[in-house]
């Protein structure tokens, strides 16, 4: 069983490097709930460390400084797992997600003539925290 949250205009930090605002972030948290057979029937259980998947979509207008910072931060996750912080600021409060032990699952870069450059990044995380302020 999984829960998905979609956030827009969200600040992204990868390994303490602010990589700017993402146009859209989908955060899917899998609590790994499953039915387990027992002698008396079934029970619902979950793993002690649920995982999560983060899909980050970022659009830029071919800004070399922003794109280099984003790609450098993303590539830092290639060999060593890192931490991604997602900060979503709303008028009534701020929601901050911290995803630990993130590894790149997929990176797609789309550039069509006359349009914005689109980075679509999917990472898998092992653990997470959420805070509301």
For 35-85, the pLDDT digits (tens) are 566 666 665 555 555 578 888 888 877 777 777 888 888 888 888 899 999
Mean pLDDT score across all residues of the chain: 78
At residue 9, the pLDDT reads 77
According to DSSP, the β-strands at 117-125 and 41-45 are unpaired
User: Can you list the domains of the chain with their CATH numbers?
Assistant: 2-34+45-132 (2.30.110.20)
Residue 115 is given by DSSP the state S
Closest residue by Cα to residue 3 from 30, 21, 26: 30
Q: In the prediction, which pLDDT does 31 show?
A: 60
CA–CA separation, 109 vs 112, rounded Å? 10
Q: Select, from the ranges 25-29, 87-91, 98-102, the one with the highest average predicted confidence (pLDDT).
A: 98-102
pLDDT attached to residue 91: 79
Task: Report which of 21, 90, 29 is spatially closest to residue 59, judged by C-alpha positions.
Answer: 21
Residue 100 CB-density burial (10 A; 0-12 exposed, 13-18 middle, 19+ buried): middle
């Amino acid at each position: 069983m999984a829960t998905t949250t979609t956030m827009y205009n969200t600040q992204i930090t990868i390994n303490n490097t602010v990589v700017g605002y993402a146009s859209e972030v989908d955060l899917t948290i899998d609590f790994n709930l499953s039915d387990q057979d027992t002698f008396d029937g079934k029970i619902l259980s979950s793993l002690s460390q649920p995982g999560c998947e983060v899909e980050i979509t970022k659009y830029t207008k071919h800004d070399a400084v922003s794109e280099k910072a984003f790609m450098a931060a993303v590539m830092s996750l290639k060999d060593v797992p890192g931490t991604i912080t997602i900060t979503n600021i709303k008028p009534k409060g701020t929601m901050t997600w911290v995803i630990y032990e993130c590894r790149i699952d997929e990176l797609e870069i789309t550039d069509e003539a006359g349009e914005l450059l689109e980075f679509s990044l999917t990472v898998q995380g092992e653990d997470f925290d959420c805070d509301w302020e």
